[in-house]
Amino acid sequence: METFWNTIAAYNAATWPAQLLLTLLGIMLVVLLYRHPTAGVRLAMKLFMALLNFWIAGVYYLIYCEPREYHGMLALFWAVMGTLWIYDLAVGHASLHRTSRRNGFALLLFAMPLIYPLVSLALGRTFPEMTSPVMPCSVAVFTIGVMLAFSERVNIVLAMFLCHWALIGLSKVYLFGIPEDYLLACSVVPALYLFFREYIDQHRSQVTKPSTRVLNTLLLVLCLLIGAFFTVTLLHQFDLYSETI
Protein backbone atom coordinates (compact mmCIF):
# COMPACT_ATOMS: atom_id res chain seq x y z
CA MET A 1 0.00 0.00 0.00
CA GLU A 2 2.90 2.33 0.80
CA THR A 3 4.43 1.62 -2.63
CA PHE A 4 1.07 2.39 -4.21
CA TRP A 5 0.77 5.84 -2.64
CA ASN A 6 4.48 6.60 -3.16
CA THR A 7 4.15 5.96 -6.90
CA ILE A 8 1.05 8.17 -7.08
CA ALA A 9 2.85 10.92 -5.18
CA ALA A 10 5.85 10.73 -7.51
CA TYR A 11 3.58 10.80 -10.57
CA ASN A 12 1.55 13.78 -9.34
CA ALA A 13 4.58 15.75 -8.22
CA ALA A 14 6.34 15.32 -11.55
CA THR A 15 3.46 15.58 -13.99
CA TRP A 16 0.96 18.06 -12.52
CA PRO A 17 1.61 20.70 -15.23
CA ALA A 18 1.02 18.12 -17.97
CA GLN A 19 -2.07 16.84 -16.14
CA LEU A 20 -3.39 20.39 -15.92
CA LEU A 21 -2.82 20.85 -19.65
CA LEU A 22 -4.53 17.54 -20.49
CA THR A 23 -7.48 18.43 -18.24
CA LEU A 24 -7.93 21.83 -19.91
CA LEU A 25 -7.63 20.22 -23.34
CA GLY A 26 -10.27 17.65 -22.36
CA ILE A 27 -12.67 20.35 -21.13
CA MET A 28 -12.13 22.36 -24.32
CA LEU A 29 -12.80 19.36 -26.57
CA VAL A 30 -15.94 18.36 -24.66
CA VAL A 31 -17.31 21.91 -24.96
CA LEU A 32 -16.44 22.00 -28.67
CA LEU A 33 -18.11 18.63 -29.25
CA TYR A 34 -21.28 19.91 -27.60
CA ARG A 35 -21.30 23.26 -29.42
CA HIS A 36 -19.57 22.67 -32.77
CA PRO A 37 -19.38 18.91 -33.44
CA THR A 38 -17.44 19.21 -36.71
CA ALA A 39 -15.40 16.40 -38.29
CA GLY A 40 -12.20 18.13 -37.15
CA VAL A 41 -13.35 18.28 -33.52
CA ARG A 42 -14.35 14.60 -33.59
CA LEU A 43 -10.95 13.72 -35.03
CA ALA A 44 -9.24 15.79 -32.34
CA MET A 45 -11.28 14.10 -29.60
CA LYS A 46 -10.41 10.61 -30.85
CA LEU A 47 -6.73 11.55 -30.99
CA PHE A 48 -7.02 13.03 -27.49
CA MET A 49 -8.62 9.84 -26.17
CA ALA A 50 -5.85 7.75 -27.75
CA LEU A 51 -3.26 10.12 -26.25
CA LEU A 52 -4.85 9.85 -22.79
CA ASN A 53 -4.81 6.05 -22.95
CA PHE A 54 -1.21 5.92 -24.15
CA TRP A 55 -0.28 8.47 -21.45
CA ILE A 56 -1.70 6.22 -18.76
CA ALA A 57 0.07 3.21 -20.32
CA GLY A 58 3.45 4.88 -20.86
CA VAL A 59 3.86 7.70 -18.35
CA TYR A 60 1.73 6.46 -15.47
CA TYR A 61 2.32 2.70 -15.50
CA LEU A 62 5.63 2.17 -17.30
CA ILE A 63 7.52 5.10 -15.75
CA TYR A 64 6.04 6.02 -12.41
CA CYS A 65 4.43 2.71 -11.38
CA GLU A 66 7.57 0.72 -12.16
CA PRO A 67 8.02 -0.30 -8.48
CA ARG A 68 4.56 -1.92 -8.48
CA GLU A 69 4.02 -5.56 -9.42
CA TYR A 70 2.46 -6.27 -12.84
CA HIS A 71 2.77 -2.66 -13.96
CA GLY A 72 3.71 -3.92 -17.46
CA MET A 73 0.48 -5.87 -17.76
CA LEU A 74 -1.60 -2.83 -16.83
CA ALA A 75 0.40 -0.67 -19.25
CA LEU A 76 -0.37 -3.15 -22.01
CA PHE A 77 -4.06 -3.09 -21.07
CA TRP A 78 -4.20 0.70 -21.52
CA ALA A 79 -2.09 0.56 -24.67
CA VAL A 80 -4.65 -1.85 -26.18
CA MET A 81 -7.42 0.64 -25.34
CA GLY A 82 -5.38 3.44 -26.96
CA THR A 83 -4.95 1.26 -30.04
CA LEU A 84 -8.72 0.73 -30.13
CA TRP A 85 -9.22 4.50 -30.42
CA ILE A 86 -6.67 4.63 -33.25
CA TYR A 87 -8.44 1.70 -34.95
CA ASP A 88 -11.75 3.48 -34.42
CA LEU A 89 -10.27 6.51 -36.17
CA ALA A 90 -8.81 4.45 -39.02
CA VAL A 91 -12.05 2.60 -39.87
CA GLY A 92 -14.20 5.73 -39.48
CA HIS A 93 -16.43 4.22 -36.79
CA ALA A 94 -19.28 6.66 -36.01
CA SER A 95 -18.32 6.75 -32.36
CA LEU A 96 -18.41 10.51 -31.74
CA HIS A 97 -21.49 11.70 -33.59
CA ARG A 98 -23.50 13.67 -31.08
CA THR A 99 -26.74 12.03 -29.99
CA SER A 100 -27.93 14.75 -27.57
CA ARG A 101 -29.21 12.10 -25.18
CA ARG A 102 -28.47 11.40 -21.53
CA ASN A 103 -26.64 14.70 -21.22
CA GLY A 104 -27.28 14.96 -17.48
CA PHE A 105 -25.63 11.64 -16.65
CA ALA A 106 -22.84 12.26 -19.17
CA LEU A 107 -22.12 15.70 -17.68
CA LEU A 108 -21.86 14.11 -14.24
CA LEU A 109 -19.32 11.65 -15.64
CA PHE A 110 -17.37 14.46 -17.30
CA ALA A 111 -17.17 16.15 -13.90
CA MET A 112 -15.90 12.97 -12.20
CA PRO A 113 -12.19 13.47 -12.97
CA LEU A 114 -12.50 16.79 -11.12
CA ILE A 115 -14.58 15.27 -8.31
CA TYR A 116 -11.98 12.50 -7.73
CA PRO A 117 -9.36 14.91 -6.24
CA LEU A 118 -12.05 16.68 -4.21
CA VAL A 119 -13.13 13.37 -2.68
CA SER A 120 -9.47 12.65 -1.91
CA LEU A 121 -9.14 16.00 -0.15
CA ALA A 122 -12.38 15.35 1.74
CA LEU A 123 -10.91 12.02 2.90
CA GLY A 124 -7.98 13.92 4.40
CA ARG A 125 -5.31 13.30 1.77
CA THR A 126 -2.92 16.01 0.66
CA PHE A 127 -1.10 16.77 -2.59
CA PRO A 128 0.75 14.94 -4.12
CA GLU A 129 -0.43 11.78 -2.33
CA MET A 130 -3.97 11.93 -3.71
CA THR A 131 -6.00 11.00 -6.77
CA SER A 132 -5.78 13.43 -9.69
CA PRO A 133 -7.74 14.06 -12.93
CA VAL A 134 -5.35 12.12 -15.19
CA MET A 135 -5.22 8.74 -13.49
CA PRO A 136 -6.59 5.41 -14.77
CA CYS A 137 -9.97 5.47 -13.05
CA SER A 138 -10.59 9.17 -13.80
CA VAL A 139 -9.76 8.55 -17.46
CA ALA A 140 -12.02 5.47 -17.51
CA VAL A 141 -14.97 7.50 -16.14
CA PHE A 142 -14.24 10.29 -18.63
CA THR A 143 -14.19 7.75 -21.49
CA ILE A 144 -17.58 6.37 -20.42
CA GLY A 145 -18.90 9.96 -20.39
CA VAL A 146 -17.57 10.60 -23.91
CA MET A 147 -19.14 7.37 -25.17
CA LEU A 148 -22.48 8.08 -23.52
CA ALA A 149 -22.69 11.69 -24.67
CA PHE A 150 -21.42 11.47 -28.21
CA SER A 151 -21.52 7.89 -29.45
CA GLU A 152 -23.82 7.21 -32.35
CA ARG A 153 -22.64 3.60 -32.41
CA VAL A 154 -21.12 2.33 -29.19
CA ASN A 155 -17.76 0.59 -29.47
CA ILE A 156 -18.73 -2.56 -27.55
CA VAL A 157 -15.12 -3.80 -27.22
CA LEU A 158 -14.08 -0.55 -25.56
CA ALA A 159 -17.20 -0.66 -23.35
CA MET A 160 -16.25 -4.20 -22.25
CA PHE A 161 -12.68 -3.10 -21.50
CA LEU A 162 -14.04 -0.33 -19.27
CA CYS A 163 -16.41 -2.76 -17.56
CA HIS A 164 -13.44 -5.04 -16.84
CA TRP A 165 -11.44 -2.09 -15.54
CA ALA A 166 -14.27 -1.13 -13.20
CA LEU A 167 -14.15 -4.62 -11.69
CA ILE A 168 -10.40 -4.37 -11.20
CA GLY A 169 -10.84 -0.84 -9.85
CA LEU A 170 -13.21 -2.11 -7.21
CA SER A 171 -10.40 -4.23 -5.79
CA LYS A 172 -8.34 -1.12 -5.06
CA VAL A 173 -10.91 -0.13 -2.47
CA TYR A 174 -9.77 -3.13 -0.42
CA LEU A 175 -6.14 -3.47 -1.43
CA PHE A 176 -5.10 0.17 -1.28
CA GLY A 177 -7.96 1.83 0.59
CA ILE A 178 -9.20 4.12 -2.18
CA PRO A 179 -12.96 4.46 -1.73
CA GLU A 180 -12.88 7.07 -4.54
CA ASP A 181 -12.91 4.15 -6.96
CA TYR A 182 -16.52 3.43 -6.07
CA LEU A 183 -17.29 6.41 -8.31
CA LEU A 184 -16.09 4.40 -11.31
CA ALA A 185 -17.92 1.26 -10.26
CA CYS A 186 -21.14 3.22 -9.70
CA SER A 187 -20.84 4.89 -13.11
CA VAL A 188 -20.18 1.69 -14.98
CA VAL A 189 -23.34 -0.21 -14.03
CA PRO A 190 -25.89 2.28 -15.45
CA ALA A 191 -23.53 3.08 -18.34
CA LEU A 192 -23.26 -0.59 -19.22
CA TYR A 193 -27.03 -0.92 -19.22
CA LEU A 194 -27.38 2.17 -21.44
CA PHE A 195 -24.66 0.95 -23.85
CA PHE A 196 -26.32 -2.43 -24.31
CA ARG A 197 -29.83 -1.00 -24.52
CA GLU A 198 -28.70 1.42 -27.21
CA TYR A 199 -27.07 -1.44 -29.10
CA ILE A 200 -30.30 -3.46 -28.84
CA ASP A 201 -32.36 -0.47 -30.03
CA GLN A 202 -30.05 0.03 -33.01
CA HIS A 203 -30.53 -3.60 -34.06
CA ARG A 204 -34.28 -3.67 -33.37
CA SER A 205 -35.03 -4.05 -37.09
CA GLN A 206 -33.10 -7.35 -37.23
CA VAL A 207 -35.21 -10.30 -36.13
CA THR A 208 -33.17 -12.19 -33.54
CA LYS A 209 -33.69 -14.46 -30.55
CA PRO A 210 -34.57 -13.81 -27.77
CA SER A 211 -36.96 -10.90 -28.40
CA THR A 212 -35.94 -7.31 -27.62
CA ARG A 213 -38.18 -7.26 -24.56
CA VAL A 214 -36.66 -10.45 -23.10
CA LEU A 215 -33.18 -9.18 -23.88
CA ASN A 216 -33.84 -5.85 -22.16
CA THR A 217 -35.20 -7.67 -19.10
CA LEU A 218 -32.17 -9.98 -18.95
CA LEU A 219 -29.91 -6.97 -19.24
CA LEU A 220 -31.71 -5.20 -16.44
CA VAL A 221 -31.45 -8.27 -14.20
CA LEU A 222 -27.72 -8.63 -14.93
CA CYS A 223 -27.06 -4.96 -14.19
CA LEU A 224 -29.11 -5.17 -10.98
CA LEU A 225 -27.06 -8.20 -9.90
CA ILE A 226 -23.80 -6.35 -10.59
CA GLY A 227 -25.18 -3.30 -8.80
CA ALA A 228 -26.15 -5.47 -5.81
CA PHE A 229 -22.63 -6.95 -5.78
CA PHE A 230 -21.11 -3.46 -5.70
CA THR A 231 -23.52 -2.36 -2.96
CA VAL A 232 -22.67 -5.36 -0.79
CA THR A 233 -18.98 -4.60 -1.32
CA LEU A 234 -19.57 -0.99 -0.35
CA LEU A 235 -21.42 -1.95 2.83
CA HIS A 236 -18.66 -4.43 3.66
CA GLN A 237 -16.17 -1.60 3.21
CA PHE A 238 -18.09 0.50 5.73
CA ASP A 239 -17.87 -2.42 8.15
CA LEU A 240 -14.12 -2.53 7.62
CA TYR A 241 -13.84 1.19 8.44
CA SER A 242 -15.99 0.87 11.54
CA GLU A 243 -13.84 -2.07 12.71
CA THR A 244 -10.71 0.05 12.21
CA ILE A 245 -12.24 2.96 14.17
Residues forming the site for other proteins (CB under 8 A): 69-70, 72-74, 76-77, 80, 91, 156-157, 159-161, 163-164, 167-168, 171, 175, 196, 199-200, 203, 207-210, 215, 218-219, 222
Maximal C-alpha separation, the chain? 57
Q: In whole angstroms, how close is the CB of 168 to other proteins at the nearest point? A: 5
Decide whether 38 or 171 has the Cβ nearer to other proteins.
Answer: 171
Least spacing, CB of residue 34 vs other proteins, in Å: 28
Q: What secondary structure does DSSP assign to 23-82, as a single string?
A: HHHHHHHHHHHHH---HHHHHHHHHHHHHHHHHIIIIIIIIITTTSTTHHHHHHHHHHHH
Residue 29 vs 49, nearer CB to other proteins: 49
Closer of 58 and 128 to other proteins (Cβ): 58
Least separation in angstroms between residue 156's CB and other proteins is 5
| Cβ contacts of 82 within 8 Å, gap of 6 or more | 50, 51, 52, 53, 54, 57
Residue 86 or 163 with smaller CB distance to other proteins: 163
Give the span between the Cα atoms of 67 and 84, in whole angstroms: 27
Q: What are phi and psi of 133, to 5 degrees?
A: -65, -25
Give the shortest CB-46-to-other proteins separation in angstroms: 17
Kindly tell me which of 97 and 197 has the beta carbon lying closer to other proteins: 197
The CB-of-144 to other proteins minimum distance in angstroms stands at 15
